[in-house]
Structure 1
C-alpha cells in the first residue's frame, strides 16, 4: 500500500536543522525497531524531559528514520491548552487520501476535505478518524502533551486494538505513565554529558581555534547543564562576535547567573533568551517579536515573513541596500543566531521555510504580550487581554464564540494588522471593521464570502493582502482604490483575471497568482503592465486572445522574477511569440 500523507506532513518532518539528535543514536534505533517490528495493538512511546532537551528533535528523527514503513503518518501539537477538535482535524488533514474537489480549486492534498472536516463536531471527527485509520498501520507523533486528562481525551479518540504506533512528547512523568503500560517504553531524556555538549556547541559556533581560552569555553559549556536549546542559543550569540577576542567569551560567561550550572530551571532558560534578545538591534527586535503572530509548530515561509515585515514598516533602506535586501539580512541574522531554524531550502540553497522552537516562541509571545506588540486570541498560549489599544491581532484556532467574546472586550480602533490562522467556522464580521489595516493575511480561509470581500477592498490603507488558498473567483473593481498595496497574494485560488482598475496600483511590488494544482493561471493584461513597480509577477497566462500587446511588458523595468504558467495559442510563426522572447530577455 502506498503511504497516505500530504506535503505538509513531510515538510514538518524536516524541521530539525541539526541533522540527528546528539547522543541519541542508540535510543533512536532501539525504540524505532520496537515501533515498527512489534505485533499486536497500538504501540505508544513516551519521550519525557525538560523543555529544550530535544524531545521533538528525537521524535522527528524517529519519524524520518522509520516513517516510510507506515501507511499513514501525521505530526500534531497538543500543548498546554488542548483543543481536541483542532487536533483531530490536524490528524485527519494529514491522513486522508489526496483529493482535488470539483469546482473548488483545491491544492491536491487535504484541502479537498477541508469543508467537511471544518464543519464536523467532535463526535463526527472521532468517527471519521477511526474510519480513516481502520486496518491501517499508522504513525502519529503527538507533540507536547501537558496533562493526563489531555492524553486520555486523545487516546479515546483513536482506534483501539488496531495496528499503529504513537510517539508522545511531554515534560511530565505522570503523563508518560498514563501513556505507557510498561516503563521500558518511557524514554527519559537527560542533559547531555560534557563531551556531547562540547560537540554540539562547536558544531554550531564554527570556532577555528577551539583550544584558545579553553578554560573559559569549558565553563560556558558546563554552565548550561547539557541543555541543547541553551547551548545552541549561546553559540548563536557568540557567533556574531570576534571569536579570537577572549573578552567576548568572558562577557557571555559573566552575564549568566552562577547558579545555572547547578539547576537549569525555566527561569534560567529565560535568562539566556533575555541575553540573546537584548543583544539584538532595535529593528531586529521588532522582527523577532513579530514571529509571535504565528502558531506553535508553524512552518513560516521566508518570503511571506519578510514581505510582511516591510509592509509593517519595520525595515528601512540602510547602507545603500534596498528594503528587500535589508529584510533578507534581518532574516539571515535570526537564522545565524540560532533563534529560528531552517525547515526547507529552495533549489538556490536559500531558506524557504523556518520554525521557532516552542520554548523560544513561548518567550517571544510573553515578551510581545508584555510590550503590547502582538495580541493573540486562541491557540496554544494563555495570554492576558490587553488593557491598551490592540495594534496587531492574530486569531489562532479557537471556538468562534470564545473569539467573539474576547475581541468584544478589546479596543480595536488602532488595529493595523490582522492575521487569521486555521479555519474559524464563521470568520467574525467585526474583523473587517478597521479601515486603517495595513496588513491582512487570510491565507487558507475557505469561508470568505462576497460581503466580506467587499469590506476588505474598502480598507484603503492596505499594503499587504493575502487571499492565498481561498475559494475566491473574482475580486471587486474597488481594488484599484488600494493605492498603497505592495503585495497581493492570490495563489491557489480560482482567480484567472483581475479587474481593469488594477492598473492604478502603482506601488504594487509583488503580484502572486496562479494555481499549480488546478493549472489555472492569471491572464496577463495591459492593466497589469501598468504596475511599473512590479518586481515579482507569478502564475500568469499569455495568450493570443487576451493579451493584445506583449510589448507592454517592457514597461516592467523593475521585474526580477517572472513565472509563466501557460502559453495559449502562441506558435513559433505567431507575432505574439516573436514579441514575447525579446520582452523576457530584456
Structure 2
C-alpha cells in the first residue's frame, strides 16, 4: 500500500511540473524535481519492503509506514501550494469552480511557510533512506506459522458438507479415463479446498490404486527447482525407495527429466495445493507425462484464471467449491460450539444469537469452525455471546484463536499486485450486506486515482478489468448480472469485510464511522459514515484536514442505491 501512495504522489508531482507555468513555479520547481527523484529511488526498494511488512517483518512495517506518511505529507503540502497558486491566478471557468468546491469542503488550516515545509520533507527523505536497510534484520515470512497447515488435519467426524463431493472425486481418481486427468478445485480462501483434497488424497481406495503419490504445498514465492526436488523425494518415498543421488545439485531441466522418466510407466497421483499463478503449471506440466495409465493431478487454487489456464483438455475437470448451505453451516457450528455439552445441539436461549453468528460467516467453513470452537470455551450466556458478535471485527484482529481466519484471507491480499490492493480495500467503505453497482464502483476508483493508464484502453475499461481480476481471485462476489452476462452488482463476504476494515485502519486507508463509534481517525485519508441517528456529526467530521474522500450512507433513511461521495 505504501507503493500505491508513493506512485500516486510521484504522478501528482509530475502533473505539477508539466502542467503549471514555469514562471509561477520558479521558487519550488527545482525542489519538486528533487523530491520526485528521491521518491522514485525509494520506490525501487519499496516493493520488497512492502512484501516484508505484510508478511510479518516489524522493522519493514515501521519503515513502510514512515514512507506512506511521507507520501501523504508531500501530497498535502503541494495540494496547499496548488490551491494558493490557483488563488493567485484567479482563473475562470471549470478549474476555478473546482477550486471553490475544494475550499468549501475541506477547511484548510492557516498556511505555514511552504518553503520550510519542503525543507522538512527533504530532511525526512534523507532519514528514511538511511533506515532503508534496517527493515531486513527482523522476522520475515519464513518465521511465520503457515495458517494452511491446520486444514491438513481435520478429523473425519468434523468433515461437514463435502461428503458427496469427496466420494465423487474419489471415483474420478480411481475409475474412468485412462489418460492423465487434471482436477482443479477452486474457491475463496477458507472454503475447504485443502481439506477436501486431503481427504481425497488419503482415501484408502486412492492409496491402493496408484503406484506413487505426492502432496506439494505451493508457496506464493515458490522456486520451480525446489518444487521439483520435493516432488522427486515424495514420489520415491511413496514407494519406499531412495531418491537418486545428486538431486540437490540438479538444475531445472535435469529435475524435469528425472521426474518425467520416473513417472512415464507409472500410474501417479499428485496434489499441488494452493497454486497462485498460471506460470506454475506452465513449468510443472512438462514433468508430468500424459501416459495411458490413468494418472491424476489435483490442483487447488483461489484463482479462477489459474484453473482455466490449467484445464487443457476436455478430460480435465474444474470444480468450484461453494459455501456451505445454511443447514450444513448450522450443523458444523453446533458440532464445534457445543461439542462438550447439550449433545451437540444449541440450547434454545442461545439459538437466536448463534444463528446471527452463523449468518455472518456466510457458509465459510474456516470461519464457522474457528468461531464455533472459540465459543465452546465461553459461558453459555446470551449477553456474552451477543457482545462477541457485536465485536467480531476486533476479535478477528486480536483473538489468537481466530487469527488463522485473518491470515488465510490476507494471503490473498498479499498476493495482489500493488495497484489492486486499494481497489480491494475500497470495499470496506461500503456497509455490511450492501451490494454496489459496478459502474459506480469503477468510477469511484477512477476518481480516487487508482486506475493506471494503458495504451489503447479507456480508464473505465482498465477499471473494469481490475474488478474482473478481483472476482476471478475469489475476493469479490458477484451479486447480480446483466442480461448480457456482465457483472451488475458486487460485494465482499462479511468476514472478508471485517478483515478489510482492520487492514484499512492499520494503513490509514479509510475509517468507517458507524453508530457505535465515538470519533473518526484523524490519520485516515477517507471517511465512510454509516449513520442512523447521528447526522448532526457529519459537518464536524468533514473538517478533518487529512480526509480526501467522504462517504455518507444514511442507513435506514436512504435507498440502497449507492454512497453519497465527496472528494
Specify the TM-score bucket, using the shorter chain as the normaliser: 0.3 to 0.5
Q: TM-score, normalised by structure 1?
A: 0.41
TM-score w.r.t. the length of structure 2 is 0.42
Larger Rg: 2
